[in-house]
């Protein structure tokens, strides 16, 4: 027994000895690591700084002619980067009332002005979430030794959301001109003076070629009145992942034949924000979208392209990144004849609660503006999830889209009520019934119920001459959890909205896909 | 027909709704705001108050935005005093009167730099050193501010002054785009250019710009040595004349000069020196045999010298070689120099050993007290006939069929 105890003691002593050694080694290594930080070349030369782009307002150099000396391309880039960073750190500073990195982009004396304002805002519990959307730079002066530059920044469109005690008070949008003196210090172009000048008006964007337009409450495409008869489309094998690795233009082409034969003329497709590369759109994704649009054009189908699928940030500082995303996609397809409309976001009103209604509305409003700037030729809409939200921003959009999954008997009333309020074309952008009767849903609808539903809906649509896009062509085998959540019965429901079942047979409802 | 009774009823409802809504708004009353303050232009540092007339039972806030940021003021009386940190900054100050999350009145005032206060001069001069002549220049930039650190308005008069070798100059320029600036071109002489500026009563500090001599022109070289003999012992010194630029300035100290020496075999030797007061020196050991050197100096890529020729005479015509009885010890010397003096220690003697017309070894030794002793040990050189070549100071002597015992 004594021997046993002794062994236990021995083990304890050895273990505690090892523990102490490990602890000491850990402390020494941490101390060494701490002492080494800041002195490594990486941080001294600022090479690792700003690798990820976080702030991308549209910036244009109008001219660089100046009396000092010609500027080098590299310096121009440096000035541009540091100047935008200066705006970014300033926006972050006013948002958090912290002075992080301000001293990197403002000289000590210029920084005092920001310090004073932040002190005042902090004592008043104010937080200002701001971003700039556009900058138009021209170089007024660049010194012979390359250490000093004066730039003029005109038409700076700025948004500010003002919060007091975390409550949004109001939003302000304005356009200003600035004159800025920058000095090259420690490898940074720092702001020495910034002077706000008389405000200016916004510059005119592109002019529409009149391809798609709305006159009163009718849609016109290429001078002809257009009645939307369509469907929301995903390929059967790749729902919510249309442009992924399994993208097959042949499959899509065949599906388009089915739709065309069924008498439809429009489809709605979805462009996921993250998958397309966020602020740096992947060219191969763009090519896939181009292929789909080209096939649609050849099959005489028009396309409503829903952007920003699965996007959910909306914070003011994130705006410029989404603007670059839109610019690259919308600008690329501005002359494409298959596109009918850009649908900015699918069901954004569902984000009101989690992201703040004002944030979402503010983002949508500016995004409409951005999209029109890059593509004035196609229509703009927002895919609201219900009729109640459909009147939001109805002055800004071209066509008002809404989804309807409620009781079919109420549709007539609800639609009439909306029709009176809105004098733009109304699009029933999603509707449908899941034939999901089965294990997960014993009292769900059968395929017969689904057929009846579509039959009735088509009658109403025909009678009222409504633009429509039904949900959806296929029953799906897999529905990603990001769409409806992970609950099996919800997934099950989402799998059975199609007109064609999982094995490729036309369901009873198919005959009512169109009228 | 699209219009039906239900439609009409709905229209009625919505009409009622909108009327009642309108009534509701009526109850709220449209907000009446007027600005009593008429002044729109201020000087930095002025006390600025915006006085609004509105229904004092309502709450209003004033959102302010200037060059550096934004803030929010609250007032119940309708009088908003602009905080000092905003009132003292130059630029447009935008204001937005907010009521119930809506902007009900907006406008702007402009604040100018305060020209009554003391001016501060920030001076930037670059490059800090330039080259003499009429091509290079330095730029003198002045960013004047008032005491609140606001850049002064455009068209402020700035006096740019500089002094150089007795000349004092003064020019006047107007500021534009926050700064005033002037280029100062270099003079033809090297020296220190002193620069300053002045606005009104305020003078800047003194700044200096160095004017360095321009690029060197071609120059002359000469050599100096103790004697003409190729003794491998003394040092020959090459020296440039005073190297000058095209304006007769002595080139900057430290200008690198390369002396390139070509001997009769075509081998290149090199010596290097940097100029001090325009003169660079290069030093090389005398050769140890008769030779003629062609010497030219270069400031690489910029200027070159003339070529001079240096002749070295042989120091001796012959020397003695003694073999001992077994021929295994060879004594070379005594080596005598030009005055028959024992040559200084360190003269090279080379012994080449041939066996059956094939060189089997080369031994090199330096002289000590005029002599060199080679010992050919039995273990390395078996008994037999050998040939020897012994050379020193440009003289070679050959010994054939020497028998090592």
- Domain CATH for A115: 3.10.450.240
> Do A250 and A145 sit in the same domain of this protein?
no
- Residues A192, A222, single domain; the answer is no
Residue where the block lists tokens 């409503």: A304
Please judge whether A195 and B91 are an interchain contact, meaning their C-beta atoms are less than 8 angstroms apart. yes
Same domain for A173 and A251? Answer: no
Let me know: does A374 contact A330? Beta carbons within 8 Å.
yes
DSSP B123-152: EEEE-SEEESSSS-EEEEEEEEE-TTSPBP
Task: Please report which confidence band the pLDDT of residue A116 belongs to, taking 50, 70 and 90 as the band edges.
Answer: very high
> What pLDDT, on a 0 to 100 scale, did the predictor assign at position B26?
44
- Write the residue in B71, B92, B138 that is nearest to A117 by C-beta: B71
* pLDDT, tens digit, 9 for 90 and up, residues B308-330: 999 999 888 888 898 888 888 89
Looking at CATH, the fold of the domain delimited by B123-212 is given as Immunoglobulin-like (2.60.40)
User: Are A143 and B92 in contact (CB < 8 Å)?
Assistant: no
Query: CA–CA separation, A302 vs A335, rounded Å?
Result: 13
According to the model, what pLDDT value does residue B380 have?
A: 87
User: Is position A16 within any domain?
Assistant: no
Q: pLDDT tens for residues A57-97?
A: 999 999 999 999 999 999 999 999 999 999 999 999 999 99
Q: Do domains B34-112 and B123-212 have the same CATH topology?
A: yes
Quote the CA–CA distance of A308 and A313 in Å, as a whole number. Answer: 11
Cβ of B85 within 8 Å of Cβ of A113? The answer is yes
Q: Where are the domains of chain B?
A: 1-30, 34-112, 123-212, 221-312, 321-404
Residue B25 is predicted with a pLDDT of 42
The pLDDT value given to residue A444: 85
| Residue A205 confidence class, pLDDT cut points 50, 70, 90 | low
Q: Answer yes or no: is A4 within a domain.
A: no
CB contact under 8 A, A162 and B72: yes
Q: Considering only CA atoms, which of A231, A239, A288 is closest in space to residue A261?
A: A231
pLDDT digits (tens, 9 = 90+) for A427-482: 999 999 999 888 788 888 899 999 999 999 999 999 999 999 999 999 998 888 88
Contacts of A156 in chain B (CB under 8 A): none
A288 to chain B nearest CA, in Å?
42
Nearest to A59 by CA among A117, A133, A169: A133
The topology under which CATH files domain B221-312 is: Immunoglobulin-like (2.60.40)
**For range B356-385, the mean pLDDT:** 89
What's the whole-number average pLDDT of chain B? 88
Query: Which helix H or strand E contains B399, and what residues bound it?
Result: strand B395-404
What pLDDT was estimated at residue B12? 57
Closest-CA distance of chain B to residue A459, Å: 14
User: How close does chain B come to A232, measured CA to CA in Å?
Assistant: 27
- Put simply, whether B66 touches A (Cβ < 8 Å) is yes
Q: Does residue A265 share a domain with residue A123?
A: no
Span B34-112 CATH architecture: Sandwich (2.60)
Q: What is the pLDDT of residue A1?
A: 62
Q: For residue A100, what pLDDT is reported?
A: 87
- Whether B108 and chain A come into contact, CB under 8 Å, resolves to yes
Asked if residue B353 has pLDDT above 70, the reply is yes
pLDDT of residue A288 exceeding 70: yes
**A222 lies in the same domain as A342:** yes
Pairing verdict, β B137-145 and B120-126: antiparallel
Grouping H, G, I as helix, E, B as strand and the rest as coil, residue A76 is helix
Are A219 and A191 contained in the same domain? no
> Nearest-CA distance from A150 to chain B in Å?
7
Domain identity same for A182 and A297: no
Q: Is B352's pLDDT higher than 70?
A: yes
The alpha carbon of residue B101 is apart from the nearest alpha carbon of chain A, in Å, by: 5
pLDDT classification of B10: cutoffs 50, 70, 90: low
CATH of domain B321-404: 2.60.40
First to last CA, chain B: 141
CATH number for the domain spanning A383: value is 3.20.20.80
ipTM of the complex: 0.78
Interface contact flag, B69 A113, Cβ < 8 Å: yes
Q: Is B70 on the interface with A (CB under 8 A)?
A: yes
Pairing of strands B120-126, B157-164: unpaired
Residue range B214-238: mean pLDDT, rounded: 92
For residue A269, pLDDT over 80 is answered with yes
Residue A13 lies in a domain: no
- Determine, yes or no, domain membership for A399: yes
What's the rounded Cα separation, in Å, for the pair B174 and B159?
9
Mean pLDDT in chain A? 91
- The answer to whether A190 and A82 have CB atoms below 8 angstroms apart is yes
pLDDT top residue among A169 and A20: A20
Q: What is residue A77's predicted lDDT score, i.e. its pLDDT?
A: 93
Q: Within a 10 A sphere around the Cβ of A75, how many other Cβ atoms?
A: 16
Distance in angstroms (rounded) separating the CA atoms of residues B54 and A443:
62
Query: Stretch B133-140: mean pLDDT, rounded?
Result: 93
Indicate if the pLDDT at residue A239 is higher than 50.
Answer: yes
- Cα A512 from chain centroid (whole Å): 35
Task: Please answer yes or no on whether A196 and B91 come within 8 Å at the CB atom.
Answer: yes
CB of A290 within 8 A of CB of A334?
A: no
Q: Are strands A58-63 and A126-142 parallel, antiparallel or unpaired?
A: parallel
- Same-domain check for residues A282 and A413: yes
* Arithmetic mean of pLDDT, A227-248: 93
User: A287: domain range?
Assistant: 212-512
Comparing alpha-carbon positions, the chain A residue that sits nearest to B145 is A193
Who among A68, A117, A179 is closest to B85 (CB)? A117
The whole-number average pLDDT for the span A389-397 is 91
Residue A8 lies in a domain: no
B110 and chain A in contact, CB less than 8 A: yes
Q: Is residue B282 within 8 Å of B259, Cβ to Cβ?
A: yes
Averaged over B40-60, what is the pLDDT?
A: 88
Other Cβ atoms within 10 Å of A102 Cβ, number? 19
Residues A115, A221 within the same domain: no
* A28: in domain: no
Order of strands across the sheet that contains B41-43: B41-43, B102-112, B91-99, B60-65, B70-75
Q: What's the pLDDT tens digit per position in A336-346? A: 999 999 999 99
Per residue in A3-48, pLDDT (tens digit) is 788 899 999 999 999 999 999 999 999 999 888 776 666 666 665 5
Read off the pLDDT of each residue in A301-329 and give the average, rounded to a whole number: 92
* Residues B263-321 pLDDT 10s: 999 999 999 999 999 999 999 999 988 999 999 999 999 999 999 999 999 888 888 89
Q: Is the pLDDT of residue B22 over 50?
A: no
Q: Examine the fold and report which residue of A170, A197, A224 is the final residue of a domain before the chain moves on.
A: A197
Classify residue A359: in a domain, yes or no.
Answer: yes
Same domain flag for A453 and A493: yes
Q: What is the pLDDT of residue A203?
A: 60
Residues A262, A223, single domain; the answer is yes
């Amino acid at each position: 027994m004594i021997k046993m105890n002794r062994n236990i003691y021995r083990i304890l002593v050895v273990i505690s000895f090892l523990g102490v050694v490990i602890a000491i080694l850990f402390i020494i290594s941490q101390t060494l690591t701490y002492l080494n930080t800041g002195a490594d070349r990486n941080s001294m030369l600022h090479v690792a700084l700003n690798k990820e782009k976080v702030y991308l307002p549209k910036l244009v150099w109008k001219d660089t002619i100046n009396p000092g000396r010609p500027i080098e391309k590299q310096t121009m880039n440096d000035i541009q980067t540091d100047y935008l960073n200066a705006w970014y750190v300033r926006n972050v500073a006013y948002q958090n009332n912290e002075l992080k990195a301000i001293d990197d982009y403002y000289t000590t004396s210029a920084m005092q002005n920001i310090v004073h304002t932040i002190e005042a805002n902090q004592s008043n519990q104010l937080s200002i979430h701001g971003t700039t959307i556009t900058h138009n730079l021209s170089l007024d002066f660049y010194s012979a030794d390359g250490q000093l530059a004066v730039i003029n920044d005109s038409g700076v469109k700025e948004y500010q959301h003002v919060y007091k005690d975390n409550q949004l008070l109001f939003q302000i949008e304005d356009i200003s001109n600035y004159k800025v003196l920058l000095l090259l210090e420690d490898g940074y172009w720092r702001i020495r003076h910034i002077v706000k000048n008389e405000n200016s008006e916004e510059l005119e964007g592109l002019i529409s070629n009149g391809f798609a337009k709305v006159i009163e409450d009718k849609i016109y495409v290429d001078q002809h009145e257009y009645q939307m008869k369509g469907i929301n489309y995903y390929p059967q094998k790749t729902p919510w992942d249309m442009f992924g690795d399994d993208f097959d233009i042949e499959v899509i082409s065949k599906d388009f034949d089915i739709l065309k034969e069924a008498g439809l003329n429009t489809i709605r497709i979805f462009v996921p924000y993250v998958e397309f590369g966020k602020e740096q759109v992947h060219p191969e994704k763009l090519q896939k979208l181009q292929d789909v649009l080209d096939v649609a054009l050849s099959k005489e189908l028009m396309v409503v392209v829903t952007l920003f699928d699965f996007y959910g940030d909306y914070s003011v500082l994130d705006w410029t990144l989404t603007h670059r995303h839109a610019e690259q996609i919308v600008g690329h397809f501005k002359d494409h004849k298959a596109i009918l409309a850009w649908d900015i976001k699918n069901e954004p009103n569902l984000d009101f609660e989690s992201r703040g209604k004002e944030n979402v509305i503010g983002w949508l409003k500016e995004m409409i503006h951005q999209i029109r700037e890059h593509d004035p030729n196609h229509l703009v809409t927002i895919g609201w999830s219900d009729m109640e939200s459909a009147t939001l921003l109805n002055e800004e959009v071209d066509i008002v889209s809404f989804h309807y999954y409620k009781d079919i008997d109420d549709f007539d009333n609800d639609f009439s009520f909306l029709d009176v309020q809105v004098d733009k074309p109304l699009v029933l952008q999603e509707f449908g019934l899941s034939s999901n009767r089965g294990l997960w849903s014993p009292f769900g609808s059968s395929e017969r119920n689904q057929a009846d539903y579509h039959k009735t809906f088509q009658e109403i649509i025909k009678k009222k001459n409504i633009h429509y896009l039904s949900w959806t062509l296929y029953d799906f085998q897999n529905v990603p959890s990001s769409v409806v959540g992970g609950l099996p019965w919800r997934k099950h429901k989402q799998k059975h909205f199609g007109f064609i079942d999982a094995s490729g047979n036309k369901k009873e409802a198919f005959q009512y896909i169109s009228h | 027909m699209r219009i039906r009774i239900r439609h009409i009823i709905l229209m009625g409802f919505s009409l009622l709704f909108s009327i009642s809504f309108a009534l509701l708004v009526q109850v709220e009353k449209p907000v009446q705001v007027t600005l009593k303050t008429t002044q729109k232009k201020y000087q930095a540092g002025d006390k600025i108050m915006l006085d609004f007339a509105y229904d004092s039972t309502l709450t209003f806030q004033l959102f302010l935005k200037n060059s550096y940021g934004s803030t929010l003021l609250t007032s119940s009386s309708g009088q908003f005093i602009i905080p000092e940190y905003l009132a003292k900054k130059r630029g447009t100050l935008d204001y937005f009167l907010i009521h119930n999350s809506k902007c009900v009145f907006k406008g702007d005032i402009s604040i100018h730099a305060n020209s009554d206060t003391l001016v501060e001069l920030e001076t930037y001069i670059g490059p800090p050193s330039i080259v003499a002549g009429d091509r290079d220049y330095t730029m003198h930039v002045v960013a004047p501010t008032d005491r609140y650190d606001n850049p002064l308005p455009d068209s402020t008069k700035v006096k740019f002054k500089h002094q150089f070798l007795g000349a004092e100059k003064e020019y006047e320029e107007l500021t534009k785009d926050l700064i005033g600036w002037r280029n100062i071109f270099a003079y033809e002489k090297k020296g220190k250019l002193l620069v300053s500026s002045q606005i009104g009563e305020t003078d800047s500090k003194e700044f200096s710009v160095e004017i360095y001599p321009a690029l060197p022109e071609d120059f002359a070289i000469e050599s100096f040595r103790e004697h003409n003999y190729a003794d491998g012992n003394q040092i020959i010194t090459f020296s440039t004349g005073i190297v000058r630029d095209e304006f007769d300035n002595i080139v900057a100290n430290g200008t690198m000069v390369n002396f390139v020496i070509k001997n009769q075999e075509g081998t290149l030797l090199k010596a290097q020196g940097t100029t001090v007061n325009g003169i660079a020196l290069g030093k090389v050991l005398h050769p140890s045999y008769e030779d003629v050197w062609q010497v030219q100096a270069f400031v690489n890529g910029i200027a070159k010298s003339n070529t001079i020729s240096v002749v070295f005479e042989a120091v001796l015509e012959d020397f003695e070689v003694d073999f001992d009885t077994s021929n295994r010890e060879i004594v070379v010397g005594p080596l005598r120099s030009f005055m028959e003096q024992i040559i200084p220690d360190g003269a090279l003697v080379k012994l080449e050993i041939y066996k059956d017309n094939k060189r089997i070894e080369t031994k090199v030794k330096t002289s000590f007290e005029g002599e060199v002793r080679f010992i050919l040990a039995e273990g390395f050189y078996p008994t037999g006939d050998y040939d020897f070549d012994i050379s020193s100071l440009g003289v070679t002597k050959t010994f054939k069929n020497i028998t090592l015992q």
